[in-house]
């Protein structure tokens, strides 16, 4: 999934690779005011999907990777606030 995202989205921060728990990674991203995070849990990976978590705390689950890439590209292109 990571390879598809990096290829499809040029301005993307790679996953936070640390020993921190997921909750702490999410909290750190919120503190940095990252517009949205992509989370790929075990179920998402098995389905070739991701989950979006937005700065306001809302979340959309099970988005196919290709759809996620298109949505990110459109958001960047139109400079849409998320």
Cβ-proximal residues to 60 (8 Å cutoff; 6+ apart), any chain: 51, 52
Residue 56's pLDDT is what? Answer: 81
* Cα–Cα dist 69/77, whole Å: 12
User: Residue 14's pLDDT is what?
Assistant: 53
State pLDDT tens for residues 18-57.
677 878 877 887 777 777 788 888 888 899 999 988 878 8
This prediction's pTM? 0.66
């Amino acid at each position: 999934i990571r390879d598809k995202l990096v290829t499809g989205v040029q301005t993307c921060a790679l996953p936070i690779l640390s020993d921190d728990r997921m909750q702490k990674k999410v909290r750190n991203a919120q503190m940095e005011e990252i517009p949205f995070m992509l989370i790929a849990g075990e179920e998402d990976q098995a389905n070739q999907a991701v989950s979006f978590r937005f700065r306001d705390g809302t979340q959309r689950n099970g988005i196919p990777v290709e759809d996620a890439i298109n949505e990110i590209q459109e958001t960047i292109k139109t400079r849409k606030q998320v």
